[in-house]
Amino acid sequence: MTTTQLPLRTLGKSGFTVSAIGLGCMRMTFGDKPIGDTNEMIAFIHSAVERGVTFFDTAEVYGPFTNEDLVGQALEPFKGKVAIATKFGFKHDPTSGPSPSVGYDSSPEQIKRVADASLKRLRVDAIDLFYQHRPDPNVPIEDVAGAVKELIEAGKVKHFGLSESGANLIRRAHAVQRVTAIQSEYSIWWREPEAEVLPACEELGIGFVPFSPLGRGYLTGKVDENTKFDSSDIRSRNPRFTPEAIRANQVVIDLLIRIAKEKDATPAQIALAWLLAQKPWIVPIPGSRKIERLDENLGAAAIRLTPSDLSEIKEAMAKITVQGHRY
């Protein structure tokens, strides 16, 4: 199998280098229906590798467990050539059916159990990047970082990450074990990390991995007030996807469309290029299950937004109030 080369980026000062755009794998087995056929999704992941993607994002809770199984099976032939990020931090009730979790659990014992189980499902000798999926109010972050530090010393984990953590928690964790990456929602229409988290990352030499970089599909420009979402789709319950919010937020799409026309690009590509232009240590992980969407997303790595383009976007967005909370 021949592979093309995407630009590479290093997450902070960790030395952890991956493709400039990664692939979020959650929706391949979990979330809105229909979920992907296993063989089709394995072939799709192989296609991503062919196109130069070396960074794949999964989690124990996606399923639970089925997503790690899929990613592990798909990427086993590329061991040592790609990096897999997975997550801990939830506890599961096997009798609760499809419910993914029954609460937080980042106790050191649970972290170590999850690591051992994830290693088997992912079919790897070490987890490349192990995130705490969400802060656990019942476990001091120092204990979490200490448990991951022990896993790193044991050779079971290579890098430690946090997801959706604030700057204070990041600093406390980093004081115990170097944090390689922070994963949080970040896009042209959700910019809260700019206030405190991104400055903390820059100060401490930590990379940043935006999830939902296309605003759960809204920033592609393919969603309008007439779009219907299946009840299994998180957007059917999301305040940003009511017909009223979709109408109100169209001004964001109009801005992306205008710049996309100038660049011979798509709105989605401009949204991703904007993220890449923010910091050289930012690596977005758009989710996809279709080759045409994958190719579109990866094409963003070749788009250069000028300082003038970025100023235009900044000025325009300063006049826009995005309607609806993200959850």
Give the catalytic positions in this structure.
62
Q: Structure tokens of 72?
A: 């592990």
Asked whether 11 and 18 are in contact (CB, 8 A), the reply is: yes
Q: Strand runs (DSSP E) across the chain, as ranges? A: 8-10, 17-19, 23-24, 55-57, 83-88, 127-132, 157-163, 179-185, 207-211
Q: Structure tokens of 232?
A: 């299994």
Asked whether 136 and 106 are in contact (CB, 8 A), the reply is: yes
Asked whether 36 and 44 are in contact (CB, 8 A), the reply is: yes
Using CA atoms, how far residue 210 sits from 92, 113, 215, 247, 258, in Å, is 26, 27, 10, 25, 24
By three-state DSSP, how is residue 34 classified?
coil
Q: Structure tokens of 267?
A: 């709105």
CA distance 136 to 144: 9
Short-list 318, 111, 70, 327, CA closest to 194? 318
CA distance 187 to 282: 11
> Would you give the DSSP letter of residue 274?
H
Using only C-alpha atoms, the chain has a radius of gyration, in whole angstroms, of 19
CA distance 316 to 84: 37
By three-state DSSP, how is residue 263 classified?
helix
What single-letter amino acid sits at 326? R
